[in-house]
Amino acid sequence: MFYSRYFIPTVKETPSDAEVISHQLMLRAGMIRKLAAGIYNYLPLGLRSIRKFEAIVREEMNRADAIEMLMPSVQPAELWQESGRWTFYGKELLRFKDRKDNDFCMGPTHEEVITDMVRREIKSYRQMPINFYQIQTKFRDEIRPRFGLMRGREFIMKDAYSFDVDSAAADGSYNKMFNAYHRIFERCGLNFRAVEADTGSIGGSSSHEFMVLADSGEDAIVSCDACRYAANVEKAEARPLQPTVGVELLSLEKKATPEMKTIVDVAAFLGMSTDKTIKTLVYASDAGEFVMAILRGDHELNEIKLKNSMGWDEIRMATEEEILQITGSPIGFLGPLGLKRPVPVLADLAVQSLANTVIGANEKDMHYINANPGRDFAPDRYIDLRNVQSGDACPRCENGKLEMWRGIEVGHVFKLGTKYSQALNATYLDADGKEQTIFMGCYGIGIGRTVAAAIEQNHDENGIIFPLPIAPFHCSVVAVNAKDAGVMAAAEEIYFKLEKLGIEVLFDDRDERPGVKFKDNDLIGIPLRLVVGSKGLAEGKIELKVRKTGEVLQLPIEAAIEQVRQLVADALGCGN
């Protein structure tokens, strides 16, 4: 590609509305432009990276026996009503009517459409296992679209859906996708983890998220430093603590704690550390049910664990008014003892290990000290309710400690069981001619989000450092002085030689100062750069620079070309 005939509108200034580095750099490198909130034009350079990543995804999906198809983005409401999601999906589902007043939506995902196709076409156990995938545009009316392609409203996703005769066969399909995802993100040279993830209201079945590690990631994840356990903090299990033994239980006593509303204040006032105290929270469901959760003072409630343990679809904190009705007390002095209106009390497992602890007395400015679980208060259930913390013992192995990371969710694999096949009546006839329900799995990868995540993980002060497999071009050839006919002729020859070798080259033939060219080439993150100048040419040499390491080599022309060929082959290697 000749730079002068191409379109790369780079920008010097950091755009003010871009918070994360990948968004800033994609704008500055002329990869994307915003059309409306969460809706972007993919400019030529951005599209090249997107297409590169799509090609890797396609290859690995095909290798794992998934079959490509394409479903429409406009979907009829009837299917969503059948699955029950027309009402459940909420405002993220963009709904509209056609001229005949029929309801439609823009597809945020395609379980309904594919299940409808399959229930019409798949009739026999002989037609399974089968897995369909597509790379297609989704629309989700996200409440807070942000970070460029990372959280758009319109975005490209690869989604796959597997269909199997039973749960064990579905596990097999799931494992195949799980392995394919590993290959995909490995081939892109990304530092990632597959973590156990919450399955939300679908429950029971299992799910993994693929997380690219990056400080700006929206998800907190943990991994064990000794075994393979890794999980989203939303889901990560806390290992029960050792019970406290041999402590003399003192008598319960009510104590004034004037204006001490936070657990930190209360603990300091009583001269204790927060891990010896209890904090109390009250939550509500959409249906108007309530629950009281009690945790060790230094622990953080995991709302998803609480929501799942109550079997609720949604959860929110109770209002001050509701708390007053339930406990008779203003916030800050809540506890499980002496409620005005009984609600279920759930305690985190760690509460069991406390002795002579502190709880709110459900009375303004009052707490109990020397409260002992079992003796003074008895929660309805002890369950795992807290977020794990860095350094916690691993729930799976004996010696491991949990480490915390930030991650960007780029992929998600999910065992669906019969949730959609049951709702849409997708059945097949087994070997005995008996009708059975199909088992499903679904598997998503955010295409644009992965490219953005790759930039988030690979950049420096000069710009993007693309992993070669998803770089818009493998190599650039920079002619230092476009006015020098000798330099231009030599650079052009090198360009054509590389192209012939199957290397994707951006030939910077622009009549610009070398500094401008180098800056742009750094910014757009092309992994390899050959610089052709009159001085070097006089000695028959050109310069090879590796963007990632900064390594610079002066090499004879043919040797430089061979070196580029080798480096490209190595970087693409694991795909072959």
Binding segment for ligand ATP among 149-157, 267-275, 328-336, 460-468 (CB under 6 A)?
149-157
Cβ nearer to ligand ATP, comparing 360 with 407 = 407
**163 interacts with ligand ATP by CB under 6 A:** no
CA angle 397, 399, 402 (to 5 degrees): 75
**157 interacts with ligand ATP by CB under 6 A:** yes
Binding partner of residue 140 among Mg ion, ligand ATP, none, CB cut-off 5 to 8 Å per kind? ligand ATP
**410 interacts with ligand ATP by CB under 6 A:** yes
- Choosing from 59, 142, 365, 512, the residue that interacts with ligand ATP (CB under 6 A) is 142
Host H or E run for residue 448: helix 447-457
**Which 343-402 residues touch ligand ATP, going by CB under 6 A?**
none
Residue 349: how many other CB atoms lie within 10 Å: 18
Cβ nearer to ligand ATP, comparing 217 with 469 = 217
Binding segment for ligand ATP among 19-27, 320-328, 357-365, 409-417 (CB under 6 A)?
409-417
**198 interacts with ligand ATP by CB under 6 A:** no
- Residues in the chain, total: 576
Structure tokens at 188: 């892109």
| Residue whose pair of structure tokens reads 């849409």 in the numeric block | 424
Binding partner of residue 411 among ligand ATP, Mg ion, none, CB cut-off 5 to 8 Å per kind? ligand ATP
**527 interacts with ligand ATP by CB under 6 A:** no
What is the nearest approach in angstroms of ligand ATP to the Cβ of residue 412?
Answer: 3
**411 interacts with ligand ATP by CB under 6 A:** yes
Cβ nearer to ligand ATP, comparing 449 with 547 = 449
Distance of CA 233 to CAs 179, 402, 463, Å?
A: 23, 11, 31
Q: Which residue is nearest to ligand ATP (CB)?
A: 446
What is the nearest approach in angstroms of ligand ATP to the Cβ of residue 89?
Answer: 11
Structure tokens at 499: 């192209």
What is the nearest approach in angstroms of Mg ion to the Cβ of residue 554?
Answer: 49
Contacts 24+ apart (CB under 8 A), 393-398: 393/239, 394/224, 394/226, 394/227, 394/229, 394/239, 395/229, 395/236, 395/237, 395/238, 395/239, 396/224, 396/227, 396/229, 397/224, 397/226, 397/227, 397/229
What is the nearest approach in angstroms of ligand ATP to the Cβ of residue 166?
Answer: 24
**412 interacts with ligand ATP by CB under 6 A:** yes
Binding partner of residue 449 among Mg ion, ligand ATP, none, CB cut-off 5 to 8 Å per kind? ligand ATP
CB 498 within 8 A of CB 561: yes
Q: Which has the closest alpha carbon to 575: 227, 60, 156, 115?
A: 60
> What is the SS3 string spanning 155-201?
EEEEEEEEEECCHHHHHHHHHHHHHHHHHHHHHCCCCEEEEECCCHH
Cβ nearer to Mg ion, comparing 190 with 351 = 190
203: left (phi over 0), alpha (psi -120 to 50) or beta: left
Beta-bridged to residue 383, according to DSSP, are: 348
Q: Give contact residues for Mg ion (rule: CB under 5 A).
A: 412
Binding partner of residue 151 among Mg ion, ligand ATP, none, CB cut-off 5 to 8 Å per kind? ligand ATP
- Checking DSSP bridges between strand 505-508 and strand 475-479, what pairing results, if any? parallel
- The answer for residues whose C-beta is within 8 angstroms of residue 549's C-beta and 6 or more apart is none
Total residues in contact with ligand ATP, by rule CB under 6 A: 15
| Residue whose pair of structure tokens reads 């399909």 in the numeric block | 173
**85 interacts with ligand ATP by CB under 6 A:** no
What is the nearest approach in angstroms of Mg ion to the Cβ of residue 411?
Answer: 9
What is the nearest approach in angstroms of Mg ion to the Cβ of residue 219?
Answer: 9
Cβ nearer to Mg ion, comparing 151 with 412 = 412
Q: Identify each DSSP E strand in 70-185 by its residue range.
A: 74-76, 95-97, 103-106, 130-139, 154-164
Binding partner of residue 410 among Mg ion, ligand ATP, none, CB cut-off 5 to 8 Å per kind? ligand ATP
What is the nearest approach in angstroms of ligand ATP to the Cβ of residue 81?
Answer: 20
- Choosing from 107, 152, 332, 407, the residue that interacts with ligand ATP (CB under 6 A) is 152
What is the nearest approach in angstroms of ligand ATP to the Cβ of residue 160?
Answer: 11
Host H or E run for residue 554: strand 552-556
Cα 413 to chain center, whole Å? 11
- Checking DSSP bridges between strand 528-532 and strand 475-479, what pairing results, if any? parallel
**420 interacts with ligand ATP by CB under 6 A:** no
- Choosing from 3, 42, 155, 439, the residue that interacts with ligand ATP (CB under 6 A) is 155
- Choosing from 148, 444, 525, 527, the residue that interacts with ligand ATP (CB under 6 A) is 444
Can you give the binding site for ligand ATP, defined by CB under 6 A?
A: 109, 140, 142, 151-152, 155, 157, 409-412, 444, 446, 448-449
